[in-house]
Structure 1
């Protein structure tokens, strides 16, 4: 009987080659899926993003939409540090004020969607409002989505531009939703954050891009984070200039001195509520936590509008006056 001799060295090389090819193909697949600018069909009919009829009615037919369309926004532009032309919309208060809110939208959104909150800040609170299109969104340039990390520096540059426009005594509030919430938190940890930023409202944030993607890979594709997410992160570093692990709101709030009001829906399965609780627990500055029962991702304002406004008002009265 002849013996079959196995060349283990050659077999190991074959396995390593196949593994490497799978990692490369998978990295490009997930980069195209989540990071590259463009439509994201995989989010269509995602049960984790389903919201109530009440919320959908507000988002699609709320009177805030007519309000936004009726305003004479000044379109501002800014060249980012890496050469992208960014766009945003500024609306002065009806009565001159030194108060300004910068409203930052979520993933795949655009600036004027934040008019949902902007109407209240402008009409009821008397703020100047500014709503920027994040890089890769709306009218801003960029062929990738930054998930808050490169956007944090854009936000700081926008703030500096607006302070020059409005004066050094300006009092600035950041109010972000989802990716926009992560953006404002990431900016809060930067040494160059203008001292005019007095308060932050973070609605439905995540702790880090790596943690968010690890959760979504498991939930949507039943895949472990390592090693595919790490190789996708490396590709993103090469093509978009940032890695998933460095893009951390958690590390930022551990050294920030700007007060934060955290808001999250307790029914959120797209960005779990526990992530905001963890951010709140690690926040170095003054912080408050407002949880909305049964609210899914980003629908806290729609389901608890009156209480949401009360919590906003109380928080802002403490730090912006």
Structure 2
């Protein structure tokens, strides 16, 4: 498993090591609670596949966010970092991990009407699908999300194997059956562009126009399906999850502007 890239003390952040269970009750998850202002909103950071809570400069972003008064919960999804479990499901089981993080904040007695999700890559897609199952979540920012897992898997298969692109759809039904039969994962249900349409509030979508891992068009579809008032920040020529790295000030401002508008 990938080790943590950074730790809160690297940024002079106060942190608390925390543990809680996925809402499914099957996996114990590990994280950091980073306190900001007692009266400030709470954001749950959700990392991408193969990453960890501190991946993709997330601690640096958290430091800026905490400095603005937010409280941040960062944790490792199942099968990643210090958390339990060994199955990675592209968001299918991870939805319950995000909801477990929400439940943890509920037990801490926070203002549950001021809790938002900040997801990255698979974590962005997972956050959208989790929010669709939890009406008490009322704000969400998605950086580099996919719109439809089946399409993304087909694209990756065409890119990484000698199978001609036109043949890939022929193999997808078998792949879905195998995932369902062996792991209980319904790949066909992982469609954030459908989940986001059911959210009763506008969201923020961030996507680099040079994203080589998840095509820009996927993020645009999610933004297009979201409630009126949603916004998409297209970051010119930026690759996958590099928007904060290349535009840290603007990234922080846009994220703060969005969540501040939701938690007035």
Matches within 5 A, 1:110-189: 110-113=52-55, 114-123=58-67, 125-189=68-132
Work out the CA distance in 1 between the residues paired with 2:7 and 2:219.
30
User: Structure 1 residue aligned with 2:234, among 272, 287, 291?
Assistant: 291
Listed as ranges, the matches of 1:33-48 within 5 Å are none
Which string of whole-angstrom CA distances, capped at 9 and with x for unpartnered residues, describes residues 89-109 of structure 1?
A: 21222x312410100011111
Name the structure 2 match of 1:213. Answer: 153
For the residues of structure 1 that align with 2:242 and 2:81, how far apart are their CA atoms? 22
Query: What is the alpha-carbon distance in structure 2 between the residues aligned to residue 241 and residue 87 of structure 1?
Result: 24
Correspondence for 1:77 among 2, 6, 20: 20
1:169: how far off?
A: 4.7
Q: 1:198: how far off?
A: 2.5
- Kept in 1, the 8 Å contact 2:208–2:242? The answer is yes
- Point out the structure with the larger helix share: 1
What is the total number of aligned residue pairs between the two structures? 258
Q: Measured at CA, do residues 289 and 65 of structure 1 come closer, stay the same or move farther in structure 2, by a change above 3 Å?
A: farther
The change in CA–CA distance for 1:251 and 1:201 in structure 2 (over 3 A counts) is same
Q: CA deviation at 1:239?
A: 2.8
Question: Could you tell me which residue of structure 1 aligns to residue 205 of structure 2?
Answer: 262
User: Take 1:246 and 1:98, find their aligned partners in 2: how far apart are those partners?
Assistant: 35
Instruction: Flag the structure with larger Rg.
Output: 1
Question: 1:68-88 deviations in whole A, cap 9, x for unaligned?
Answer: 7x6432322215415222222
From 271, 278, 281, the equivalent of 2:224 is 281
1:203 and 2:143 correspond: yes
Is the 8 Å Cα contact of residues 101 and 130 (structure 1) preserved in structure 2? Answer: yes
Q: How far apart are the structure 2 equivalents of 1:320 and 1:179? A: 25
Distance 1:82 1:230 in 2: 30
Q: Where does the alignment leave 5 or more consecutive residues of structure 1 unmatched?
A: 1-37, 40-58
Question: What's the RMSD between the two structures over aligned residues?
Answer: 2.3
